[in-house]
Amino acid sequence: MPRIRRELYNKEICACSIFGAMNQSGERFNGAGVMKAIANMHVRGNGLGGGFAAYGIYPEYKDYYAFHLMFTGKSRQDKLSAKAELEEFLARKFDVVYEEEIPHRDESTVSDPPLVWRYFLLPHKHGEDEAISDEDYIVSKVMWVNTKIENAYVFSSGKNMGCFKGVGYPEEIGEYFMLDRLYQAYTWTVHGRFPTNTQAWWGGAHPFSLLDTSIVHNGEISSYGTNRWYLEMYGYACTLQTDTEVIAYAADLLMRRQRLPIEIVARVLAPPIWNAIDRMNDSEKKLLTTLRMVYGPLLMNGPFAIIIGQTGRMIGLTDRIRLRPLTAARRGDMFYLSSEEASIRLISPELDRVWTPNGGEPVVGELNNMRTVLQ
């Protein structure tokens, strides 16, 4: 047997600010408000990463998978050759409905930007791939690109949604991609980053996204090595060198592939302690014991607060002993999640309700009528 080289991956460590805003009646709004809110938490980041996930931004292409691609490299030539390689792959595996460079402002406003393109795609399956679902097909192709094509990263792959991210403060990234002018979304999630130990690169910024699920995360996952091997068994290649990625893949595995409801998923990622489980009634005890027994490797240990974005839904969750802050608030149809209450108050001074969710307890905002985004 050939010797397997030990992995010398670097887990990124970062502290952060997170913010999310959703209009539950499905009305779309531009990114100006969330940019203002995240800028208010400027000191929680250090300018080495910021990003946005926006839902409902591509109504005219809502039936196609919107791939956002990042082509990196030292020279423009590197970037273009990665792009050529990627497009050759797309031509074989997809019908490309539309493609363009993602509009942005003068490159001098940010540091070392990659070439960023978007492609609207329909799967074009051949042979063995015909048997698998469109979504599994997309996941496998995203994994393929991210591991096999040097300098090309798919960082957004859902329908009618998109991620925008890069190195800089989030408000700078928002301005670079002109999110306050060009896009209307019913949900925005935002992230400002404070990495401590890695060189900044555009792919390492949040959100992390797969299909229509996106994650912004504040924290450090001390169970990373365990979560990672478990997810690798199910075909998820952890390539982006960050612990947030494992949350995105765990969410995909549990919510999309296993179709578990969010209440159950929260119990997997942040389960109650055994002392509490042992005191529950028999059916709850059996369920939670089984969940911990089977999904123990997906327990996210260590401090975290996350905002999960999905089509029609925004979810907030903290680790089971709540070592990172998260505040939730409602005002009319608006649902907010934030690291700090002040940021919510800045854009919505009057609130109907503000609360701090318990550790491990998910807070969920859903569209009142899913049809508003699907039709």
Partner 1 sequence: MKSFVFPEFQIIRDEQKCGQCRGCERQCAFGTHTYDPVADRLISDETKCAGCQRCVIFCPKHAIVIRPTPSFYRPNASWSREKLDDLKKQAETGGVILTGSGNDKPFRIYWDHMVLNASQVTNPSLDPLREPMELRTFLGAKPDLMDISSQEGVVSINTPLSPNLMVETPVLFSAMSYGAISYNAFRSLATAACKSGTYFNTGEGGLPKEMRQEFGRCAIVQVASGRFGIDAEYLNCSAAVEIKVGQGAKPGIGGHLPGEKVSELVAQTRMIPQGTDAISPAPHHDIYSIEDLSMLITALKEATNYEKPISVKIAAVHNFAAIASGIVRAGADIIAIDGLRGGTGAAPKAIRDNVGIPIELAISSLDRRLRGEGIRNRCSIIAAGGIRCSADVVKAIALGADAVYIGSAALIAMGCTLCQKCYTGKCNWGICTTDPRLTGRLNVEIASQRLSNLISAWSHEIAEMLGGMGINALESLRGNRDHLRGVGLHEWELDVLGIKGAGE
15 binds partner 1 (CB under 8 A): yes
**In this chain, which of 84, 321, 342, 374 binds partner 1, going by CB under 8 A?**
321
- Taking the complex as a whole, the smallest distance from the CB of residue 257 to partner 1 amounts, in Å, to 8
**In this chain, which of 32, 122, 273, 342 binds partner 1, going by CB under 8 A?**
273
**In this chain, which of 121, 173, 211, 264 binds partner 1, going by CB under 8 A?**
264
Between residues 81 and 226, which has the closer beta carbon with respect to partner 1? Answer: 226
- Which 175-214 residues touch partner 1, going by CB under 8 A? 196
274 binds partner 1 (CB under 8 A): yes
5 binds partner 1 (CB under 8 A): yes
Between residues 10 and 368, which has the closer beta carbon with respect to partner 1? Answer: 10
Which listed range, 2-10, 110-118, 154-162, 168-176, lies at the site for partner 1 (CB under 8 A)?
A: 2-10
248 binds partner 1 (CB under 8 A): no
11 binds partner 1 (CB under 8 A): yes
Active site residue 16: yes
Between residues 323 and 364, which has the closer beta carbon with respect to partner 1? Answer: 323
- Taking the complex as a whole, the smallest distance from the CB of residue 303 to partner 1 amounts, in Å, to 6
Secondary structure of the chain in the HEC alphabet? Answer: CCCCCCCCCCCECEEEEEEEEEECCCCCECCHHHHHHHHCCHHHCCCCCEEEEEECCCHHHCCCEEEEEEECCCCHHHHHHHHHHHHHHHHHHEEEEEEEECCCCCHHHCCCCCEEEEEEEEECCCHHHHHCCHHHHHHHHHHHHHHHCCCEEEEECCECEEEEEECCCHHHHHHHCCHHHHCCECEEEEEEEEECCCCCCHHHCCCEEECCEEEEEEECCCCHHHHHHHHHHCCCCCCCCEHHHHHHHHHHHHHHHCCCCHHHHHHHHCCCCHHHHHCCCHHHHHHHHHHHHHHHHHCCCCCEEEEEEECCEEEEEECCCCCCCCEEEEECCEEEEECCHHHHHHHCCCCCEEECCCCCCCEEEECCCCHHHHC
80 binds partner 1 (CB under 8 A): no
225 binds partner 1 (CB under 8 A): yes
Q: Which residues bind to partner 1, rule: CB under 8 A?
A: 1, 3-8, 11, 13-15, 196, 219-220, 222-226, 229-230, 232-234, 257-258, 260-261, 264, 273-275, 283, 286-287, 290-297, 299, 301-303, 320-321, 323
- Catalytic positions are 16
